[in-house]
Structure 1
Amino acid sequence: MGEYAIRVSGRLSDALLSAFPTLHQQPLPVQTLLWGDLPDQAALQGVLDSLDELGVEILEVNQLPDRSNEQAEHPA
């Protein structure tokens, strides 16, 4: 389906981050950015549902540009 970036409020603990082993994370001063490839709509909804169940406030969800198209257009 594509790569997504999910920005949440607060810095997530290691225990919370371990619930999302397939996602990369970047702690920011008062937020956390999670991103990674999600194979389908159900996977995205599963991540969002899990964050909600854990009481994490979701601030923003963005689909990232498809980098495989960029690589095809601009070969090294």
Structure 2
Amino acid sequence: MANTKLSVSVDSRLAHFINTYQTDHDVPTKSEVVERALELLQSQELKRQYAQAYQEWEESGEAQVWDVTVGDGLSR
């Protein structure tokens, strides 16, 4: 995937954390530290969106409709 260059400003506390994390975890670049953080943030956001979609699906009554098909095609 192609990289896009960004310029960001962060609080000095976060800049220190980036430097420390890079050193402690042998990460080659600060950009990779930020990429890892953004990937975690993206993952959390997707989990939140999936949970919200599932809740909306359950509340819509669709879950009950599908429950009756759970045993279709299975014999005891």
Q: Same fold (TM over 0.5)?
A: no
Larger CA Rg, structure 1 vs 2: 2
TM band (smaller chain):
under 0.3
Of Structure 1 and Structure 2, which has the larger fraction of its residues in strand? 1
State the TM-score, normalized to the length of structure 2: 0.25
TM-score by length of 1: 0.25
Structure having the higher helix fraction is 2
